[in-house]
Amino acid sequence: MQAGLRPERDSRMRLGSDWMVASDLTLAVDAFDGKVEDRLAFVEDGYLPVNRGSAHVRGLAMRAEHRLTSALSLSARYHVARLRQEQGGRVQEQQLMLEGLWAQGPWRCRVAAAQSSAPALMQDDGGLRLEAGVDYALAGRRPMWVGLHLTDPDQLASGRLLRADASGAARPEDQAQALMLTAALAW
């Protein structure tokens, strides 16, 4: 292992509210606060992570979702966050994401486009990101799920705190553009 490499940790708090304006329109707002410590990143052409720094993050996220039909929905999400970096200095991260989701029977398709600022704790320019995915779930005695996904993670420290998933190990596939074929079987 690398000498001096520290594990990435975060603590977070989120307070939010969803408002169903109509049966097909939902508005949501979340205020969040947290700390990302010893952010891990994989440097270009590297296979071992390095620490990129720590920051206190505070921000606001707003989302609107409109169900056009029972199978098709569109959503828009904007978040802005202020980061106070451990080594001094304050920066701002922001992102606007538009997403379409279609789900019918065993099929599920998602397309998203996001415009992001440069991430505070990474060496990335931000910019436009595109993601897409197709999933097929076979029901039955032994359910199976198959998916093909194009990923392009945003690298934002504030985005990490907004995700619902728990913290975990830093994996290269979480930080790199990728085309992934996945399958899950229940036995």
- Please, which residues bridge with residue 165 across strands? none
One-letter amino acid for residue 68 of the chain: L
Mean pLDDT value across residues 9-36: 90
Q: What does the pLDDT read at residue 122?
A: 67
pLDDT tens column, 161-175: 666 555 554 444 555
Residue 111's pLDDT band (cuts 50, 70, 90): very high
Percent of the chain topping pLDDT 90: 37
Residues 6+ apart with CB under 8 A from 79: 59, 60, 61, 62, 94, 95, 158, 159, 162
Lowest pLDDT segment from 60-74, 104-118, 151-165: 151-165
Q: What does the pLDDT read at residue 170?
A: 47
Q: Which of 14, 11, 83, 93 is nearest to 53 (CA)?
A: 83
Q: For residues 70 and 120, which has the higher predicted lDDT (pLDDT)?
A: 70
Exposed, middle or buried by CB within 10 Å (0-12, 13-18, 19+), for 27?
Answer: middle
**Whether the predicted pLDDT of 58 surpasses 70:** yes
Mean pLDDT value across residues 84-94: 83
User: Distance of alpha carbon 153 from its chain centroid, rounded?
Assistant: 7
Q: For residues 49 and 108, which has the higher predicted lDDT (pLDDT)?
A: 108
**Whether the predicted pLDDT of 147 surpasses 70:** yes
Per the listing, tokens 């296979």 go with 47
